[in-house]
Amino acid sequence: MARTQAADYEERREAIVERAADLFASRGFLGASVSDIAKACKTSKSLLYHYYPSKEDVLYAVMLSHVDRLVDDVDEALARPGDAGEKLRVLLTLFMRHYVGAAARQKVLLNDLDNLPADKRAAIVAKQRQLVDAAQALITEIDPRLAEDKTKARAKTMLLFGMINWTGHWYDASGPIKPDAIADMAYDMVAG
């Protein structure tokens, strides 16, 4: 007989994702077992499998939750009034605020994408391209000369993502520089 769904099903799924993100970030996907995830969640492996059929599904949930939030950030920034420069500044601020609270998920996304099955990896990569394309469109609108050189526009966009994606490896949220200031610095380097 199939197990019924608990009233707090979604909260439990999110708790599993949160614990798994921390484990995968510290040990790598291959270094963390299903038993490790269950132990971190103070549950059994069988209950864990009730929520996620495989360790790869947990990994996908970690990445998808993170990338979906970034897509939401893009949608929010683009919906705001203002010119491309103002929208890019908002986008970078939203990204940095998100990265601070999701450092483990960002690290997992950067380090463990190749551990996803091909179809799930393709879904994550498609969402990442959506983020890059949105940022590139704003950067190109800020500097219309880049419209004539798509290769240079993409390189400038990828340099931007190279800067902000790795902040989780060195940024100290309790330090004197706040995420909004980091976003402003990134903006100034790209559009200033």
82: left (phi over 0), alpha (psi -120 to 50) or beta: left
Return the ∠ at Cα 140 (arms to 64 and 127), rounded to 5°: 10
Task: Give the pLDDT of the chain (192 residues) as one tens digit per residue.
Answer: 455 666 788 899 999 999 999 999 999 999 999 999 999 999 999 999 999 999 999 999 999 999 999 999 999 999 999 999 999 999 999 999 999 889 899 999 999 999 999 999 999 999 999 999 999 999 999 999 999 999 999 999 999 999 999 898 888 989 999 999 999 999 999 997
Closest CA to 154 of 134, 168, 183, 178: 134
User: Does residue 115 contact residue 30 with C-beta atoms inside 8 Å?
Assistant: yes
pLDDT value of residue 27: 96
Residues 6+ apart with CB under 8 A from 176: none
Domain 55-191, CATH 3.30.1330.10 — does that match? no
User: Does residue 12 contact residue 44 with C-beta atoms inside 8 Å?
Assistant: no
Closest CA to 102 of 72, 139, 135, 138: 72
Q: Which two tokens stand for residue 124?
A: 């994550």
**Helix or strand or coil: residue 11?**
helix
pLDDT value of residue 192: 74
55-79 vs 103-112: helix crossing angle, rounded to 10? 110
pLDDT value of residue 115: 97
**Encoded amino acid at 157, one letter:** T
37-40-41-43 Cα dihedral, nearest 10 degrees: 80
Q: Which two tokens stand for residue 185?
A: 């610095």
In the chain, where the domains are located? 55-191
